[in-house]
Amino acid sequence: MAAREFSLSFEVAPPTSVRPGQAFTLPVVVSVRPIGAPSRNVQALAVHASLRDETGSGAAPGLGGSLTTSVRDGALSGYAKFGPLTISRPGKYRLRVMLGAASYNGVVTKEFVDSGLIIVGPTAPAAQRPTATQVATLQRLTAQKLDITSADIAKWQTA
């Protein structure tokens, strides 16, 4: 197996519980970082979100929203923002985020990361207010051209 070229981690993870069909209050943000020197023929990085069963071993239907984005301006590091995301069916799931690299040879999946467990049910809170740590992270991310503003953060805090 080839050596890992990238690392993915959740900067803002999906909520641990949400109502069916209701948009996550906060966007999901993933950090993309190179490990060493990535292959020279990588032209662009695309990041895609999908829904998995609670073990992460199988695909699950029902994820809606903007599911594919790119790391800005052809950079080999940065952030990917997903939102608003919804899960239509009650159950227990994980969000999988996969990194694909476009090169002269086509698109290759380079890495993936799974979220913690997301419980989807009618008794979940109507909104997910950000924790103090999430607020600090979101404020830091306002400088990253992800369409996250101080006004958005204030709105999420009072959701």
Tens digits of per-residue pLDDT, 115-137? 999 999 999 999 999 999 999 99
CATH 2.60.40.3960 fits 6-126, yes or no: yes
pTM: 0.91
Residue from 135, 137, 14, 139 nearest 65 by CA: 14
Domain boundaries, the chain: 6-126
Provide the token pair at 34.
């190179």
Tens digits of per-residue pLDDT, 3-46? 568 899 999 999 999 999 999 999 999 999 888 776 666 778 88
Q: What is the mean pLDDT of residues 87-95?
A: 97
pLDDT band at 1 (very low <50, low <70, confident <90, very high): very low
91 Cβ contact partners less than 8 Å away, ≥ 6 residues apart = 54, 60, 120
pLDDT confidence of residue 39:
63
| Mean per-residue pLDDT of the chain | 90
Answer whether residue 73 shows pLDDT above 70: no
Beta strands at 91-103 and 106-114: parallel, antiparallel or unpaired? antiparallel
What's the rounded Cα separation, in Å, for the pair 159 and 153?
Answer: 10
DSSP lists the bridge partners of residue 10 as 30
DSSP string, 22-46: PPPSSPEEEEEEESS---TTEEEEE
What's the rounded Cα separation, in Å, for the pair 22 and 127?
Answer: 9
* 3-state secondary structure (DSSP) of residue 14: coil
